[in-house]
Structure 1
Amino acid sequence: MVIGPQISLKIRQGFILVFVLVVALPSLFFSIGRAYYDSLVEATRNTLEAHLYSLISEVEFLDEGIGMPRSILAPELNRLNSDTYALIYQGNELIWYSESAVNLSVSPEFSDAQAGNSDFRRVEYQGVAYWQLSLTVILGNAEHSQQARFILLKQNSALLAQMGRFRDTLVTWMLIMGIVIAGLMALGFIWNARPLQRLDKEIKEIEAGNRERVSGLYPVELRNIKLDLNLLLESQQRQKERYRASLSDLAHALKTPLAVLKSSPLANDVDAQEQLDRINAMIEHQLKRAATGASDAWKKQTEIEPIVQSILNAMRKVYHQKDIEFTFSCEEKAAFLGDKTDLMEIFGNLIDNACKACASKVDITVTRLQNKGVRLSVSDDGPGVPEDKREDLLTRGKRLDTYEAGHGVGMAIVSDLVNSYHGNLVIDQSGLGGAEFVVEFKNEKN
């Protein structure tokens, strides 16, 4: 019995793992990257503002204009090939620039911003991207003042370079996190699935007849299932015992009148004797079927090869005069998920019929199917069964042969047993030239 939630749990586990590795971690990667880039932009603005106010503090106000010292405090502005630049304009005229801007050639766009209002934005000059902070200030006193525009620039490539280094580091750690998370999730899934696997194992042992009830220790979520399964098993066992007791009484009650009738003068009549034999055969079959596990929900696995070998040994003795050549092929570990008595009944009738009908050869083949299913095939080299008569062969009481033994219920018994196990019985033409009886038990479980 396959536990359905275990299969769905594996699907959910795989989905969660794929979601984490394919969706969650990449989303986290881009979110962190975006947040870091925004923080770089904000840090750039703060840095440029610090340089701006440092420049304003170093401005020398002269009668002939604005002057700046040869060396200013900000080292980034004093270094050639730096990525940060400072410019001072009066009107549209550049009156000062930092040493870092010696080789810089830009033409800033002047907005109509009011004095005292700073403007920070991303701009492009000659195909190069910059972050620009501009501020218009009024220098001097109430009697003599001058207006100047301070512009500070930082190349966006500097931010992108930092961003690239950060992403490389982030990718490395994300890969490490992905491996660690996948490992932890796999361990967690395995740990959480262990109770279901133990329960599945115990149920399989019950099916195989090695255990009578579920007895393992399980978490709270599975305890009710364990109790319900045990109650079901106990209830079924009690019901089965009651059936067996009742059927034993019924068999005793029916056998005695039949024995009296068969020993009476009425049994000397051939037709009456045949009817009594038919009644006896049908009673034995139906009582045996009801008492065995054909209708059990908890079916036991029965190895097929020993059963067939014992039947073949018996048939060789019964039909020794025909000198039948038996060919038997059985796949390893082929098993019937049901009662041993029912399997013997199915094979016994099929092989017995084949022995009666054959000229000299009977072929028995057993192959395994998916989901513990099994395929049984019995072929002979006899006259075969006409296609228009195959349905009648499975009808109780009808016979197509002229054998001395038999009462026309053998194939009906096989058909009933196969149907009780939700199997499929097909009558076809065999490769030996006679009839082929094929029985399939797929044993598909939900």
Structure 2
Amino acid sequence: MVSSAQISLKIRQGFILVFVLIVALPALFFSIGRAYYATLVDATEKTLEAHLYSLISEVEFLSDGISMPRTILAPELNRLNSDTYALVYQENTLVWYSESAVNLTVTPDVSQTQAGASEFKKVRYNGEDYRQLSLTVILGNAEQSQQAKFILLKKNSALLALMSEFRNTLVNWMLIMGVVIAALMAIGFVWNARPLQRLDKEITEVEAGERDKISGLYPVELTTIKADLNLLLDSQRRQKERYRASLSDLAHALKTPLAVLKSSPLAADSEAQEQLDRINAMIEHQLKRAATGGSDTWKKQTTVKPVLDSILNAMGKVYLDKGIDFTADCDQSAAFLGDKTDLMEILGNIIDNACKACVHKVDITVKTDTEKGIVFIISDDGPGIPENKREELLQRGSRLDTYEAGHGVGMAIVSDLVASYHGKIIIDYSELGGAQFTIEFSDDQNH
């Protein structure tokens, strides 16, 4: 249960980490990049606007035109091969340009615009992009005035160069952030999983019978689960004790009248004696179950091979005269999640009946399956069991004509035990020609 929760938690944590590293950080990278580029464009407009008003403040109005000082205040416009240029037009004629525009070969758009209205836009001249700020002003006074258009250009490649440098820096920091975030999340995942691991360990110890309840200290989120599990354990323990006491009392109460019946004239009848023996066998079985049923079977883990070897050794002696050829294939690590006595009862009854029904061969296979859990397959070369008789075989007190020596109460006990572990019995024909009993116990069912 907890192992599945841990796997589910790790999967969710993995999705979160993948989301952060593959979706969140790249989205943050592009968002920051776009915001920075927008800031660069806005800063460029502000810078060009400052240069523009600086030029207007330095222009000198003359009767035959305008005059500009040899060196202007903006250093970018005084430097050759700069990426910023200033041009002044009057009546679509270039009347002044900054020193930075000496080698400029482009002719900007000088179409007339409304005086006093500035315009900032991205333009393309001779295959290269520029950011252009233009303003048409009226110079002079009320008696004599002239109109001039100021144009400032800045290469867009300058913005892209700054953007590229910023992105390289941002990538480096994002990589550092990704590594740091991944490390912190991994540490957080391990730290958060520790209580689940401790709880899983305690539950495993309870299953192995090494402890009776869960007693560790856990976070608030797991405290309720801990309390519920301990409540379940206590409830099951009390129920098992009541069951054992009631079953023991009932079996002991039946022993005395059964002894009287067996010593009475009624027991002289062979058929009546057989029925009394069957009743006595059932009582002995229930007494044995009552004696061993006080502990919780779900806590126990029984290695199958020693139990199977013990049963086959006993059967070999019981049916020595029949010369049965036993074949057993059982993994050393195969384990039955239940009580050893119950496993012996299940296998003992079925193998005993197979021995009674077989001609001379009985095969036993025990295997573990990831989906079905542990599977027992017992086959014989006897007459087999017809399909229309298989359900009847598992009913208490039923006995098939072809299996007169067995498959009566024993098979009903097996059916009850398998059902108590939420397993299932499948009866079919075997490859040997007789009956095949397949018993499946999944790991989830045993829990």
Shift of 1:170: 1.3
Q: Deviations over 1:93-138 (max 9, x none)?
A: 21111232233312314353332x3222222234422111112223
**Matching residue of 2:114:** 113
Q: Deviations over 1:382-419 (max 9, x none)?
A: 23223333333223222225677547112222222222
**Matching residue of 1:185:** 185
**Matching residue of 2:105:** 104
**Matching residue of 2:232:** 232
> Any residues of structure 2 matched to 1:6-21 within 5 Å, and which?
6-21=6-21
**Matching residue of 2:430:** 430
Once residues 353 and 417 of structure 2 are traced to their aligned partners in structure 1, the CA distance between those partners, rounded to angstroms, is 16
Once residues 217 and 400 of structure 1 are traced to their aligned partners in structure 2, the CA distance between those partners, rounded to angstroms, is 57
Aligned residues of 2:350 and 2:378 also touching (Cα < 8 A):
yes
AA paired with 1:421?
A: Y
Aligned residues of 1:278 and 1:407 also touching (Cα < 8 A):
no
Aligned residues of 2:307 and 2:344 also touching (Cα < 8 A):
yes
**Matching residue of 1:369:** 369
Corresponding pairs, count: 445
**Matching residue of 2:124:** 124
**Matching residue of 1:394:** 394
CA RMSD of aligned residues (A): 2.4
Once residues 432 and 6 of structure 2 are traced to their aligned partners in structure 1, the CA distance between those partners, rounded to angstroms, is 46
**Matching residue of 1:38:** 38
Shift of 1:440: 0.9
Q: Deviations over 1:45-92 (max 9, x none)?
A: 122122222222332322321112333333322333322111101122
Segment of structure 1 superposing worse, 210-219 or 369-378 = 369-378
Segment of structure 1 superposing worse, 9-18 or 181-190 = 9-18
AA paired with 2:119?
A: D
| SS of structure 1 residue aligned to 2:298 | coil
Q: Which runs of 5+ in 2 are unaligned?
A: none
| SS of structure 2 residue aligned to 1:120 | strand
Q: Deviations over 1:134-161 (max 9, x none)?
A: 1222333444332211110111121112
Aligned residues of 1:422 and 1:441 also touching (Cα < 8 A):
yes
**Matching residue of 2:219:** 219
| SS of structure 1 residue aligned to 2:214 | coil
Once residues 38 and 350 of structure 1 are traced to their aligned partners in structure 2, the CA distance between those partners, rounded to angstroms, is 82
Once residues 109 and 348 of structure 1 are traced to their aligned partners in structure 2, the CA distance between those partners, rounded to angstroms, is 106
AA paired with 1:232?
A: L
Segment of structure 1 superposing worse, 26-35 or 432-441 = 432-441
> Any residues of structure 2 matched to 1:68-87 within 5 Å, and which?
68-87=68-87
Identity of aligned residues (%): 73
Aligned residues of 1:294 and 1:420 also touching (Cα < 8 A):
no
Once residues 236 and 14 of structure 1 are traced to their aligned partners in structure 2, the CA distance between those partners, rounded to angstroms, is 37
Q: Which runs of 5+ in 1 are unaligned?
A: none
- Relative contact order: is structure 1 or structure 2 higher (C-alpha 8 Å, sep ≥ 6)? 1
| SS of structure 2 residue aligned to 1:138 | strand
Segment of structure 1 superposing worse, 355-364 or 56-65 = 56-65
Once residues 55 and 314 of structure 2 are traced to their aligned partners in structure 1, the CA distance between those partners, rounded to angstroms, is 113
Aligned residues of 2:297 and 2:338 also touching (Cα < 8 A):
no
**Matching residue of 1:93:** 93
> Any residues of structure 2 matched to 1:297-336 within 5 Å, and which?
298-336=298-336
Segment of structure 1 superposing worse, 358-367 or 105-114 = 105-114
Once residues 151 and 187 of structure 1 are traced to their aligned partners in structure 2, the CA distance between those partners, rounded to angstroms, is 59
Once residues 118 and 402 of structure 2 are traced to their aligned partners in structure 1, the CA distance between those partners, rounded to angstroms, is 114
**Matching residue of 2:421:** 421
Q: Does 1:136 align with 2:143?
A: no
| SS of structure 2 residue aligned to 1:444 | helix
Q: Which runs of 4+ in 1 moved over 6 A?
A: none
Aligned residues of 1:134 and 1:151 also touching (Cα < 8 A):
yes
Structure 1's 279 and 297: CA in aligned 2 closer, same or farther, altered over 3 A?
closer
AA paired with 1:37?
A: Y
Structure 1's 233 and 151: CA in aligned 2 closer, same or farther, altered over 3 A?
same
| SS of structure 1 residue aligned to 2:215 | coil
Scaled by the length of structure 2, the TM-score of the pair is 0.92
AA paired with 1:107?
A: P
Q: Deviations over 1:213-254 (max 9, x none)?
A: 101111122122212221221222122222222222221111
Q: Deviations over 1:147-186 (max 9, x none)?
A: 2111101111211121122112212221221122122112
Once residues 28 and 281 of structure 2 are traced to their aligned partners in structure 1, the CA distance between those partners, rounded to angstroms, is 75
| SS of structure 2 residue aligned to 1:80 | coil
Once residues 287 and 109 of structure 1 are traced to their aligned partners in structure 2, the CA distance between those partners, rounded to angstroms, is 111
